[in-house]
Structure 1
């Protein structure tokens, strides 16, 4: 006889034991670490006032937690990177509410991870539970973003969406020049010219792990992080308290790369890493320097991966300029359910058409990679 599973939703991470969360997570991915989510909530970077009400799912068997699924009740679609603004607009045109919606994601972090922390349950095992809960609570939709691909057939009213990101793969390179040797000669010359320009501008670069970062360097990083957002007319999603907390609680997963001009810090990039991947997340600069963004955010990251035997580098979402620097197009996977029967078929059709476009786009991007033909 199968032991029944009970489900509860928690409106604060403090109501979930750190030990339970960490025990259930079998991933080294830093973005599913308890401390990452705790820093988001305790810093108030994620809160009901920000349109992110924590609503974490906990599944129990015989009163013992067997699964955790980080979730949020959201009143907007900011910070998700799987865009459904058009869906929300369609609801509004018919004078219907699209929000609140229930979203399983890592806030402001488009990184693939298994969104169900468990050794016994998979994401698809919770589809019917989530549907039933949303219907009971009059929640209009649920969305599971940047999760692992589900290869079994989906329920009729659960839809897959895809986006394309650009990732670097370590194929046993001895150093970065070994990697550049796989480029065509023209692309190789262009890349080396970019890197040479950093020294020609008199810039120096240093790497700091989380244990080495000082308060002064945190303040400089946060200044440049703010500048990046303000240039685009937006307020930063994350406050400085969040960054202080993660640097303190997750120092082994943090890499800060800083560029200096005559001993004055002028730019930096903050990365996370685990034992197999590097994740580029935040970049900013106090002034313009030719090719510095490419150097700090891409080439330094590639060298770090080679030197530390990491297999993959995810430098962040979007950015076709990554292609000519050897970052390959990969598909991401998200899953969606909509309660309103009048929109189900239209949204299903949209997702199918979008997938076709994404597959075509991925193939077009792959054709633009800088590798010699034999290396594609």
Structure 2
């Protein structure tokens, strides 16, 4: 019996795909209510109960629609939605979060050098297609496929569809960033170039307490972390975890002030609008952890995290008062504390930052795949990426050796 034909289309808004269809592909096997909002792992008594086998909050319909509906990821901001949809027997079988980009901002996999070189050679690099979660350097699935179909066949159709969409959109290239390694390998089979980079992640080795984690560190780093945690709160600062219904609009107002103050200094123009935070508060508050710092009865700093089934993803941080080590406490140590208490296996603390190594976050390779339409530009980038991959691998080995963990010869505390 002949296989049914897979049909492909690109839609200009995630609103054209129902939350149920999207989330069945994005997080197959996950519990999901009628609004499209999933339920994640939660602490029940002293035990963590996983209500879904695998869940990535960033590819959910709720997160991506909040980015669009808030005006954060739209054609006006240079993120024109071109989501690729694969249908099998008129049923959605796979989806890809994809955007037609007029710039290279908010991606965290940097290709501005490629764009400049192509422009100098007389080429036009923009528009390009970007397969990613806007403003979010977190590894996750990019070719999203529902259970119960031939996954390899649908994935291949989606990969070929991205190349066809590149031509139809008159784009120079397709960039699939922060993909899982298996997708990276599949895309390479379809002519995508392979790129690697690194982030710094923390891994839970079955710790029962933060002190259990500290016991795995060498003496110097153990003492340093204890001192940093103590000094961070020395000015009478208290730390609060807000999630679910605890996150009020007043808390969002405070956090947005932090985000704008710090983001404006670092990037000039922060990407996310105030409405974005209200929307995720309405649709996925159980997947959000706000770590907030309070002093003299007012919020002074905070970090937003998103909760997956086994990973806490650290995202944005900001402050309106500046206290030594408070950034490390709110962003890194509190994230570790939360992960331990909730039985999460990993903390991903965002892009860059070798200073994270001293705080127990070790290098992990990230993967992106790039289809370049122009043969000349493709050859030049391919040669560059071969050298870059070798450099990233060697740097990862060297940085891991610099990690703060005890060697076998060092006695436990």
TM-score by structure 1 length? 0.96
- The question of whether the paired residues in 2 share the 8 Å contact of 1:75 and 1:100 is answered with yes
- Where does residue 21 of structure 2 map in the other structure? 20
Q: 238, 246, 251: which one pairs with 1:212? A: 246
Stretch deviating more after TM superposition (131-140 or 97-106): 131-140
Residue 93, structure 1, aligned to residue 120, structure 2: yes
* Superimposed CA distance per residue, residues 201-256 of structure 1 (whole angstroms, 9 cap, x where no aligned partner): 22111111131112211111000000111112511100010000001100110111
- Where does residue 102 of structure 2 map in the other structure? 75
TM-score by structure 2 length? 0.88
Q: 132, 143, 165: which one pairs with 2:175? A: 143
- Where does residue 161 of structure 1 map in the other structure? 195
- Where does residue 337 of structure 1 map in the other structure? 371
Q: Where does structure 2 lack aligned partners over 5 or more consecutive residues?
A: 29-53
Supply the RMSD in Å over aligned alpha carbons.
Answer: 1.6
Stretch deviating more after TM superposition (168-177 or 148-157): 148-157
Alignment of 1:123-202 (within 5 A): 123-150=155-182, 151=185, 154-155=188-189, 157-202=191-236
* In 2: Cα distance, 1:152 partner to 1:52 partner: 25
Stretch deviating more after TM superposition (90-99 or 229-238): 229-238
Structure 1 residues 125 and 352: alpha-carbon distance in aligned structure 2, compared to 1, 3 A threshold = farther
- The question of whether the paired residues in 2 share the 8 Å contact of 1:210 and 1:256 is answered with no
Residue 154 (structure 1) shift:
2.6
Residue 265 (structure 1) shift:
1.6
Residue 9, structure 1, aligned to residue 10, structure 2: yes
Residue 137 (structure 1) shift:
3.8
Residue 157 (structure 1) shift:
3.5
* Superimposed CA distance per residue, residues 299-343 of structure 1 (whole angstroms, 9 cap, x where no aligned partner): 011000000000000011111110001101000011001111111
Kindly report structure 1 stretches of 4+ aligned residues shifted beyond 4 Å.
122-125
Residue 132 (structure 1) shift:
2.9
Stretch deviating more after TM superposition (253-262 or 217-226): 253-262
Q: Where does structure 1 lack aligned partners over 5 or more consecutive residues?
A: none
* In 1: Cα distance, 2:5 partner to 2:82 partner: 22
Tell me the number of residue pairs that the alignment of Structure 1 and Structure 2 aligns. Answer: 376
Residue 121 (structure 1) shift:
3.2
Equivalent residue of 1:309, what SS? Answer: coil
Residue 262 (structure 1) shift:
2.3
Alignment of 1:1-376 (within 5 A): 1-25=2-26, 26=28, 27-118=54-145, 119=147, 120-122=150-152, 123-150=155-182, 151=185, 154-155=188-189, 157-374=191-408
Equivalent residue of 2:272, what SS? Answer: coil
